[in-house]
Amino acid sequence: MANTAGISKQLLSFIIAGDREVADDVHRRFAEALLREADRQPAAAAKIDHIAGHGLAELDK
């Protein structure tokens, strides 16, 4: 997530913990990275569902 937002892992940790004030542009990049990740999750879940379903179908043969 840090890499996606273009920030260090340490800064990401600070942001999540609320231990450090960060610039608005950093908050924006982090929020945008979270939105991209949220958009990606349904596609990943659909692929996992497909793979699991295929595996179970093979077992039922």
Rounded to an integer, what distance in angstroms lies between the CA atom of residue 23 and that of residue 28? 9
Structural domain containing residue 15: 2-60
Asked whether 41 and 48 are in contact (CB, 8 A), the reply is no
Query: Model's pTM, two decimal places?
Result: 0.57
Residues in the chain: 61
Instruction: Give percent of the chain above pLDDT 90.
Output: 10
pLDDT in the model for residue 31: 87
Total domains in the chain come to 1
What tens-digit pLDDT sequence spans the chain (61 residues)?
788 888 889 988 888 888 888 888 888 888 888 888 888 888 888 898 999 998 888 888 8
pLDDT in the model for residue 27: 83
Sequence-separated (6 or more) residues with CB below 8 Å from residue 37: 1, 4
